[in-house]
Structure 1
Amino acid sequence: MEHLGTVFEMGKAICAPLLSLKENEDILDKRIEELSCRERDVRADLEREKLQYGKTPKREVELWLKNVQNTKDKVHDIKQKLGEVSWTHIRLRRHLAKEVEEKIKKAVELKENGRFQEGLVVDLLVGSIETFPPIKIVGETTALKNLQKIEECLMDDEVGKIGVFGMGGVGKTTIMTNIHNNIKNAGTFDRVIWVTVSKESNLKKLQDDVSKELGLSLFNTEDALCRSAEIYRALKLIGNFLLILDDMWSTFPLKKVGIPEPNEEHKCKIVWTTRSEQVCRGMGSQRTIKVDALTKDESWTLFKEKLGTDFVLSPEIEPIAKAAVEECDGLPLGIITVGAAMRGVDDIRIWRNALEDLKNSRPDLEGLKDDVFSCLRFSFDHLKTQIHRDCFLYCALYPEDALIGCDSLIEKWMADGFFDEIEDREKAFDKGYTIIHDLKDACMLEKGENVPRSFVKMHDLLRDLAIAITRKSHQFVVNVHSKVGKFPSDENLMDDVIRVSLIHSRVEMLSCQSKCPKLSTLLLEGSRLGNIDHLFFEHMQNLRVLDLSDTGITCLPQSLSNLVNLNALLLRDCWRLTEVPSLVQLRELRDLSHLEELSMVESKWKWSSNEDRNGRGAGVEDIVRLMHLKKLLVDFVDLSAFSSYVRSGHSQGLNCFLLRVGDDEFFELQEIQEVFNSRECLVSVSDSDCVNSIAFPTSNITRLMIAHLHNLSAIYMEEPTQGDNLANLKYIHIRNCPKLKYVFSVGWFQTLQNLEVIIVDDCRAMEEMVVDMGDMGEANNNIPITLPRLKRIELYDLPNLKSICKRTLICSSLEQIVVICCRMLKMLPFSINSLPSSLEKINGSGRWWDPLEWDNANTKMHLQPFFSNSVTNRKKIRTSQIVQTMVSNWKKIKNDSTSNSQSVQTSVSKGGKKIKNDREPKEKQNTS
């Protein structure tokens, strides 16, 4: 009977989570609803602070919001699984029941942590709130006269809406950029907002662009009326604003966008620039100002400037040059491009030919005015080589006013065969950057404003010219931001097409109806694409570039294997992608110019070993076979797959990688995109059970991030073999690994010659950060270790840490040391003879700092001025929160029945530990 009683109790304990599952589901719904309310309040406060004062969220707030969203997503997945799993699957349902209990605790904890008594925001935003880089106004008399007229209207209280019109390339945007900066510096308005409208704009895109400048998030709001209400509310909060709408092509009611009409109630002003006076009238402009072309003298001055200030025209050439300038008809853009094309030419015969070309280059292109485009066509025809012209035309595949990443652009040029004659990848890349430089020098491309130098943009007139040229030859189909919902299907039209761009279009499905035998580039980034017919790629054997980034596709069709010439397959941000055909079938993808990039991070595809996939889909072994791969950004399904890849040694041949396991706590989406365009090599491993050690890369790696590996005991412990070192490692962050005792052996630690930051947080078993595995006696400890670039050491919640490193560290660049809750750490690894001269601050508690032991009495005296006691009111607040939570839970226990008290006490104990252990990393709490 005793045995039966024991079995009964065991069964009762096993089934307990299942018995309370339904009740806990209801509790979880309530807790998530409460958390969502707190989240909405926080977001509303952030929007108000951003709009009224231009302030940005603290990082701890951003991290909290991210954790809230992650928790909500996981709860959604749990509830979905519960709805799919049969009640007969006891083991799985019991596991899910435990997850429900954990998520209840997590939701309560997050809600409590979302109070932020010390505020939500910090410093001012950058971007549109700041002034733009100054652009020189050409033709001072004419342009300054136009600028003065506009500024006078802005100062007139009776004028709210101002229309500025003039032909394309005449300088409207340049004038308004200068006005933007002048008004911003003068502080006349509370906010100056700039939105580029462009030809391809529609109501939704315009609302998105305005909301982006205001810092609003309308991604979850599809209803146009609700979106306009949000924008209206935000603009009302700002009060006195100036809104500049650049490059408008059609009229629209302001109220549909959410823009208030300027009047006595709304003290704001709106300026739009357009090529059409009719648009100004349709928008109800109270003042209309025409931007005139340059005078003859202004045109000649600008032309000579573009030829070069040190270039002198001979008496024979000068009249020819003046005649060429007259052909530009006072259009600044035309004068600039023609001047750039003729820079350095001193042969009269070439000048005579150029003038003849200008007179005869009136483009026979439908819908384009001869006087506007003749000089631009001349500049295109006089680019250095055919490759320059092809590369220029390729840029027209991107949306109007788009910022084009140089790295991404060159990658596509290379994949499309522009530099096939160059076998070395780096040399081909150098060639691409040289062409971009030449196109900017010829004024055919512009540097992207307010962004790093690695972006360019295309003037809308030059883009129009490029599209017109390619349309006439039937080689391009460009339907970006198009309402057309299907792939072009006219076989007669598509026979000669070599490039198709449907970026941000409404295409939802690719059917098998189109035959495109010459198609080499297909761009569908950001379209509504959700499905691809399994036969779609049957007749596209020449396709070399396929960009499906940021689409809703769930699987790639088997006909992808027919793309024998495919060089670039881009799948960035394909969130719903779950099925990819085996790369083994894409033999030519490896055996042509070879697959050199694979980026699938942030899609739902996670790589595992081929054996685990039972022959279905692509696995780790397929990656390893890509011997010419240079850039790899992927997620692994587990540590086994990750270690399998690392042990293959394949990563040593890469010049850029991001290898991830688990839910990443370290990266935002924007940072991942920056990694793709860099030469960084990163590893992020988290949220996984593992054996006591894992294979990590032993070369190339630049950043290593590890979190929540519950069984990990050591990282880089065995001594490095010949050729192995971590010389490129710059940043290491380790968090919440409860069994981790050591990080590095001395052998590995000595190789960290470029390490800049090391952060270790909440590793409660850690005893020594760096351990001497050789055990060669005390004499060995006298040999110092030099880390010349180390700037920051941060140690948090390491209660058993006794030593950072037993050897002396020489860190000439060290700026900051943070030691929080490391009560057993009695010495810092610095000697009086090797103190870092660059040191700025040491953070820690006085109880830790005061009893520290030193090699020399003078060492502490030298370091004392840099010490700052880190115990702040934040600690008291955090401690108070924990105490309040535990007191509340204890009262709950007392009210429960005696029979349940023991189990509830266990829950509270675990809950208290959970609160303490899962603190956000960027908000270090000082509870001890």
Structure 2
Amino acid sequence: MLLDDIWRKLDLEEEIGIPLPSPENGSKVVFTTRSKYVCGRMGPHDMEVGKLDPENAWELFRQKVRGTTIDSDPEIFELAEKICGKCQGLPLALNVIGETMACKTSVREWQCAIDDLDSSADDYPEVKDEILKILKLSYDDLKDKTVQQCFQYCALFPSHISKDMLVEFWISEGIIDGRGNRERAINQGHRIIGDLISACLLMPVDTPFLEEVTMHDVVRKMALWVASNFGKEEENFIVKIGAGLHQMPTVRDWNVVRKMSLVYNDIQDISISPECPNLTTLFLPKNNLENISGIFFLSMPKLVILDLSSNQKLTKLPEEVSNLVSLRYFDLSRTSLENLPVGFGKLIQLRYLDLTSVRTLKSISVISSLVNIEMLLLQYTNLVSLELIEDIKLLKNLKGLGVTLCFNDVVVLKRLLSIPSLASCIQHIDLERILAKDAPLQFENAMASLRTIMIDRGNISDVMEHTRYGHRSTCFQNLSTVRIINVRGIQDLSWLLFAPNLTFLLVTGPSRELQEIISREKVSGILNEESSIVPFRKLHTIYLKWLLGLKSICWERLELPSLKRMEIRKCPKLKKLPFSKERAYNFDLHTDNEERFEWEDEATQD
């Protein structure tokens, strides 16, 4: 029996009247659903049907267009390939759009179709009735209005977005209530992402650094269609991503605009003065901004999210930015700002400020006025000093901090880590050219909060005292990413055993001193049969390069259950890998010469 497109668990015997499949009766039931939740409740044997690969997608599209139209003109052939590409392998879209184009015989008709698909695809009755309305069933099945709002918001992003950032936007927008327990709000956000993935409205992306999701272009069209009240209010969400804009888009009625995303354009100057009483989110990253007139910010009373990141020619902000009294999230990363406006301190609702990679800023002493700041990111800047630490110490609501310390500024590092209220907020720390040869770095007060550590150049003896290895309190419980680049002095990385959620590890030289990743001498006493420590159980990516003294990753076999990619280059003394050759078939292993390695013999270990 085949059951197509089911939306809830079905009791086969009671509701349909058929016996449960069993080896005795030999019957089989096959069902299709768009919900992974339904799959889970109906039984264990599920198979995900993915999108078509480019070759099969093109074949299906050609079948639906029929005739010789595509082959009759090289220009039409090229346009057809573009339209097929916009369907991104989704059979539903390939079927409907292919059939729609079957009667189009001129180049201009095909070009017009591309323009329409880029702007208002729902102008095509076939697209609206046979694609958007069908996909909307998955949206309707979400039922929870908060989840539906979160889904609509996903349509503002060009491609991949990290799960953490997506949750930050939802909290800043107020879709998720973040006024109480912030961790609870973050957990709710990740649960919602799981719901959207389960409903096949978002897709997880496998990347080395971050946990990311993406949205299929056709699903994005449906999200924008829903957000525009099914095409009746098109300017609710204005999304023009990579549209080649050289200036702000023409808008008929700024009063109705609630969200605007203009990512990946070439806007250089903004000098308009729009009345935007309902605008809450404005994305302008990755343009070519050089100047923003103060009049632009005069009437945006509800703006809570402003992203101006990756505009490297932007050197100043107008004083009128202080008019954004509702602003909660401000991303200025990877710009060239030289100063913050005098009135910046008036943004007292600001919760999230990102100044990552703004090396041109000379001072942010105004930071002490931003009394509600919860997340402050200062990585790859030259700002962190003893004076700034005293200002940051005044931020009583601070919950997350990212810093870079460089040029042997151990005094500043020690001061930062000596203040428990600040150290417990550090989520991201980058140490450049730090000198700590006489004693290990001590992250004692920051262990629980750290998520990423980068140590770039410098000379250090270790990251923590190995005498602490037996203490139950010793744990980097949230640490997920570690990068160690051209660091001298360190001989092993045994402390990584106490990062149970580590997912990404990069260690690169040139280095002659690093001899082991896990030192038998240091940890064999705690890695025994009674130990609950499973080394690197969540690690999915390892890069080991130019480690000229490295002899061992681990003296005994590692299970590495989550490993997806391992790359080992220029490690001439490393002769043995801590897993069997059969195990290596389950992940991507890249080496200079795989034949030179010995493999851990699993048979002798059992």
TM-score (norm 1): 0.39
AA in 2 matched with 1:427: R
Q: Which one of 474, 481, 497 corresponds to residue 725 of structure 1?
A: 474
Q: What is the number of residues matched between the two proteins?
A: 464
What is the CA distance between 1:248 and its match in structure 2?
13
8 A Cα contact 1:647 1:695, kept in partner: no
Deviation at 1:687, TM superposition (A): 3.4
Which of 637, 645, 648 aligns to 2:419? It is 648
Give the drift of 1:522.
0.9
Other structure's SS at 1:546 match: strand
When Rg is computed on C-alpha atoms for both structures, the one with the higher figure is 1
SS in structure 2 of the partner of residue 525 of structure 1: coil
The residue aligned with 2:13 is: none
- RMSD over aligned Cα atoms: 6.1
Tell me if the contact between 1:753 and 1:789 (Cα under 8 Å) persists in the aligned partners: no
Structure 1 equivalent of residue 36 of structure 2 = none
Matched residue, 1:658: 428
Contact 1:486/1:506 (<8 A) preserved: yes
Of residues 599, 606, 618 in structure 1, which corresponds to 2:382?
Answer: 606
Give yes or no for contact 1:393–1:470 (8 Å, CA) kept in 2.
no
Aligned to 1:395: 154
Q: Which amino acid aligns with 2:382?
A: K
Would you say the 8 A contact 2:60–2:95 is kept in 1? no
Distance across 2 between alignment mates of 1:648 and 1:545? 31
Q: What is the CA distance between 1:415 and its match in structure 2?
A: 0.9
Deviations 1:469-523 (A, max 9, x none): 2874453333333454444687x92234322222223322333723423321111
Map of 2:166 onto structure 1: 409
Equivalent position amino acid for 2:443 in 1: P
Q: Per the alignment, do residues 514 and 275 of structure 1 end up closer, same or farther by CA in structure 2, a change over 3 Å counting?
A: same
Structure 1: tracts of 5 or more residues without a match: 1-132, 138-142, 178-245, 250-272, 286-364, 612-618, 661-684, 772-780, 823-835, 842-863, 868-928
Alignment map for 1:140-539 (pairs within 5 Å): 149=63, 161=77, 173-175=89-91, 275-277=100-102, 281-282=106-107, 371=129, 384-399=143-158, 402-403=159-160, 405-420=162-177, 423-436=180-193, 445-447=201-203, 454-459=213-218, 461-463=221-223, 465-466=225-226, 468-469=228-229, 472-473=232-233, 475-487=236-248, 493-511=253-271, 513-534=273-294, 536-539=296-299
AA paired with 2:383? Answer: W
C-alpha distance after superposition, 1:98-148 (max 9, x if no partner): xxxxxxxxxxxxxxxxxxxxxxxxxxxxxxxxxxx85489xxxxx999679
Partners in 2 of 1:247 and 1:579 — Cα distance?
54
- TM-score, scaled to structure 2: 0.56
Partner Cα separation in structure 1 for residue 91 and residue 480 of structure 2: 45
- What secondary structure is seen at the aligned counterpart in 2 of 1:454? strand
Name the residue aligned to 2:443: 697
Contact 1:541 1:564 in 2 (8 A): yes
Q: Does the CA contact (< 8 Å) of 2:406 and 2:432 recur in 1? A: no
1:530 Cα deviation after fit: 2.6
* Alpha-carbon displacement from aligned partner over 1:615-673 (angstroms, at most 9, x marks no partner): xxxx445555555555544434543544443333456534x83322xxxxxxxxxxxxx
Alignment partner, residue 786 of structure 1 = 526
Q: Deviation per CA, 1:534-581, whole angstroms, max 9, x where unpaired?
A: 564343342211122332323444444443332222345x25344445
Change (3 A) 1:717 1:510: same
Q: CA deviation at 1:418?
A: 0.9
Aligned to 1:671: none
One-letter code aligned to 1:518: N
Q: How much identity, in percent, do the aligned residues show?
A: 21
Amino acid in structure 2 at the alignment position of 1:424? N
Match of 1:716 in 2: 464
Q: Which residue identity is paired with 1:786?
A: I
Shift of 1:433: 4.4
In the alignment, the residues of structure 1 paired with residue 452 and residue 399 of structure 2 have an alpha-carbon distance, to the nearest angstrom, of: 17
Distance 1:383 1:695, change over 3 A: closer
Counterpart AA for 1:697 = F
8 Å contact from structure 1 (residues 608, 637) kept in 2: no
Aligned match for 1:813, one of 558, 569, 573? 558
Helix, strand or coil at the partner of 1:607: coil
**Aligned residues of 1:786 and 1:811 also touching (Cα < 8 A):** no
Q: 1:134 to 1:643 in 2, by over 3 A?
A: same
Residue 278 to residue 568, structure 1, CA distance change in 2 (3 Å): farther
CA distance in 2, matches of 1:449, 1:768: 32
Unaligned runs of 5+ in 2: 1-47, 111-121, 352-368, 528-532, 537-541, 561-565, 582-596, 601-606
Q: Which residue identity is paired with 1:282? A: V
Q: Secondary structure at the match of 2:457?
A: strand
Counterpart of 2:455 in structure 1 is: 706
- Are 2:304 and 2:328, in contact at CA under 8 Å, matched by a contact in 1? yes
Q: Counterpart in 1 of 2:591?
A: none
Query: Secondary structure of the residue that 2:276 maps to in structure 1?
Result: coil
Question: What residue in structure 1 maps to residue 305 of structure 2?
Answer: 545
Matches within 5 A, 1:579-598: 579-580=339-340, 585-590=346-351, 594-598=372-376
Query: SS at 1:432's partner residue?
Result: helix
- Contact map agreement 1:537 1:559 (CA 8 A) in 2: yes
Distance in 1, matches of 2:273 and 2:461, equals 57
Give the distance between the partners of 1:720 and 1:247, measured in 2 at CA: 62
Partners of 1:820 and 1:483 in 2: how far apart? Answer: 46
Deviations 1:891-928 (A, max 9, x none): xxxxxxxxxxxxxxxxxxxxxxxxxxxxxxxxxxxxxx
User: Equivalent residue for 1:241?
Assistant: none
**Structure-1 separation of matches of 2:280 and 2:399:** 22
Q: Distance in 1 between matches of 2:100 and 2:167?
A: 33
Cα 1:429–1:512 change in 2 (3 A) is same
| AA aligned opposite 2:525 | I
The aligned counterpart of 1:635 is 404
**Deviations along 1:860-915, whole A, 9 cap, x unmatched?**
xxxx9869xxxxxxxxxxxxxxxxxxxxxxxxxxxxxxxxxxxxxxxxxxxxxxxx
Corresponding residue number in structure 1 for 2:20: none
CA distance in 1, matches of 2:87, 2:497: 56
What's the CA shift string for 1:557-607, capped at 9, x where partnerless? 4444443332222345x25344445875543225999544444656xx432
Q: Distance in 2 between matches of 1:751 and 1:594?
A: 36
Specify whether residues 538 and 464 from structure 1 end up closer, same or farther in structure 2 by C-alpha distance, changes over 3 A only: closer
Q: Write out per-residue CA displacement over residues 683-740 of structure 1, whole angstroms, 9 at most, x where no aligned residue.
A: xx33356785685423134665534325x566535965988624547887766556x4
Structure number with higher helix proportion? 1
Distance 1:159 1:578, change over 3 A: same
Indicate whether 1:687 and 2:433 are aligned. Answer: yes
How far, CA to CA, are the matches of 1:470 and 1:725 in structure 2? 54
* Contact 2:406–2:433, Cα closer than 8 Å, also in 1: no
